[in-house]
Amino acid sequence: MHTIVPVSAGIPKSESYQQIYNQLAELIKSEPDFLANAANTAALLYHLLPDVNWAGFYFLRGEELVLGPFQGRPACSRIGIGKGVCGKAAADRETLVVGDVSQFDGHIVCDPASQAEIAVPLLNWGRLVGVLDIDSAKRDRFDEDDREGLEALMSLFLAGQATDDLPDFEGLADRAEG
């Protein structure tokens, strides 16, 4: 059983992410199940990142993103590729940081309290697997340090999964690009 250790207060954000990285590495190192690791990753991020009101995953299923493990209020179950912040991050295969979601054309409101959002596409050997989505009730909550930190965490998360344990996404990434 892994115990979440609070991140040290008052340290630079990059050091906070290093502490979270170390905890995630410990958390997933001996668990082979993809779903269990996704659930624990969402919980870890939700509890260790300050000013976050939602943290979780959407996984590519056919032509859309489908809700996966998360922490926070109930969320949208399905998001089309290219729709909303998560769908756009998935379509572009680039992390998307939105400081004020009310200014994002096509934003999908799941929790009206959310003011800022970051969506990190999950790529496994170039194939889109899904998106990590994190929301905050604080505008401009996410920045370049968050982008870099969360991208590193998602690289670790995916590297820790046995390739044959990942959901079957064979050929779906190519359709998502269109």
Q: For residue 47, is pLDDT > 70?
A: yes
Is residue 140 domain-resident?
Answer: yes
Task: Give the model's pLDDT for residue 162.
Answer: 52
Q: For residue 157, is pLDDT > 90?
A: yes
Mean predicted confidence (pLDDT) in 92-112 = 91
Is residue 36 domain-resident?
Answer: yes
Is residue 79 domain-resident?
Answer: yes
Is residue 3 domain-resident?
Answer: no
With bands split at pLDDT 50, 70 and 90, how would you rate the model's confidence at 8?
confident
Is residue 25 domain-resident?
Answer: yes
Is residue 6 domain-resident?
Answer: no
Report the distance separating Cα 124 and Cα 7, nearest Å.
28
Task: Give the model's pLDDT for residue 9.
Answer: 85
Task: Give the model's pLDDT for residue 40.
Answer: 96
pLDDT exceeding 70 applies to what percent of the chain?
A: 89
Report the distance separating Cα 107 and Cα 49, nearest Å.
23
Is residue 5 domain-resident?
Answer: no
Which CATH number do you get for residue 31? 3.30.450.40
Task: Give the model's pLDDT for residue 97.
Answer: 97
Report the distance separating Cα 128 and Cα 133, nearest Å.
14
Please state which of the ranges 26-30, 49-53, 153-157, 160-164 shows the lowest mean pLDDT. 160-164
Is residue 137 domain-resident?
Answer: yes
Report the distance separating Cα 64 and Cα 45, nearest Å.
24
Higher pLDDT, 171 or 78: 78
Report the distance separating Cα 86 and Cα 78, nearest Å.
10
Mean predicted confidence (pLDDT) in 128-150 = 97
Mean pLDDT across the chain, nearest whole number? Answer: 89
Residues 6 or more apart whose Cβ sits within 8 Å of residue 15: 8
- The total domain count for the chain is 1
pLDDT exceeding 90 applies to what percent of the chain?
A: 75
Domain membership of residue 37 as a residue range: 13-163+173-177
Task: Give the model's pLDDT for residue 125.
Answer: 84
